Amino acid sequence: METIEKIDVRAMKADIKKMVEEQRFYKRQRKSDKTIFKERVITPKEAQWKHQANRQKLRLMYAAYGKARGKNFSQIENKYPEETHPLNQWCVSIDGLINRYKIQVPVELPQE
């Protein structure tokens, strides 16, 4: 029995969904008016900082997900041409994310 290397897209998608929920939480925590959001867990300043950090991580996760599905950067974020795309400077981080989601899948070879 042999194994092949695949990217676990389902796990990647689940982690993206979890990060999106965190993003929504941080966005609500940034509100300064206590009548809008009564249960403050973190300060607005801390929520702002975490929101910005999570936004960058989420952008890289979306890029890794798109690249794992065989798309190039200009197809993932179509505002920029491929040659001068801003995600080109994050290729090492994106490849690292893809490597984190690689799994070994056993494959049976046909008997002859």
**Could you report the per-residue pLDDT of 9-18, keeping only the tens digit for each?**
999 999 999 9
Q: Which residue has the tokens 């090492």?
A: 92
Of 67, 65, 63, 57, whose CA–CA distance to 23 is shortest?
57
What pLDDT is recorded for position 64? 95
Angle at 50 between CA 99 and CA 96, to 5 degrees: 10
pLDDT at 37 over 60: no
What pLDDT is recorded for position 13? 95
What's at 20, amino acid-wise?
Answer: V
- Asked if residues 101 and 12 have their Cβ atoms less than 8 Å apart, the reply is yes
This prediction has a pTM of: 0.82
Give the whole-angstrom CA distance, residue 96 versus residue 22: 22
